[in-house]
Amino acid sequence: MNNIRVGCSVLIQHNNKLLLGIRDKEPNKGKVITPGGGIELFENMEDTVKREVMEETGLNISNIQQLKTYQIINQPDEHRIIIYWSAKYESNSIHSATDLKNARFYSKEEIKQLDDAGKLSEITKQVLFDNNWL
C-alpha cells in the first residue's frame, strides 16, 4: 500500500447500549468493531458516516458529532486515519450486510466480556476506552 486510507467510524448508542459488529474482511477480520468505512472522493464526512451505517446495518442515524481522530501506522503496509463520530439511533431494525456481520447493541458488561476475550480490534478498544465504554 502506498496511500494513506482515510475513513470514518461511529459510536451509536441506544438504550445504554453501543452498536458493534464483527468485521468480515481484513484488516481485523473476525474482530468486533464499530460501523464505518472509507470516505469516497468528494464525499462529506457526515455523509460517509450515514452511508456506511446504512450499508452495514440498515439503521437511520441523526445528531452526528465528531469525537476524535486516530491513526494506525504499521510499516510498511498500513497507514490509516480514522475520524470517529457519535450519532443517535433514529429508526429501522438492524440487518448485517457488506463487511460488518452480526451487528447488534451491546451493554457495557458485554463489551467488557468481549475485551476480556480479546475480541475487540486494538483501535476499537482504544476508542471505547476513551469514550468510557471500557
Whether cis (ω within 30° of 0) applies to the bond prior to 35 is no
Half-sphere exposure of 76 (CA within 13 A, CB side): 1
> Would you give the end-to-end CA distance of the chain in angstroms?
32
- Superfamily designation of domain 5-130: Nucleoside Triphosphate Pyrophosphohydrolase (3.90.79.10)
pLDDT at residue number 112:
97
Per-residue model confidence (pLDDT) at position 129: 97
Sequence ranges of the domains in the chain: 5-130
Average pLDDT by stretches of 10, the chain with 134 residues? 87 96 88 95 96 94 97 88 96 81 95 97 96 96
- Tell me the three state secondary structure of residue 24: coil
pLDDT of residue 114: 97
Specify the pLDDT at position 1.
52
DSSP state of 27: S
Length of the chain: 134
90 pairs with which residues across the strands? none
| Residues 6+ away with beta carbon under 8 Å from 78 | 1, 27, 72
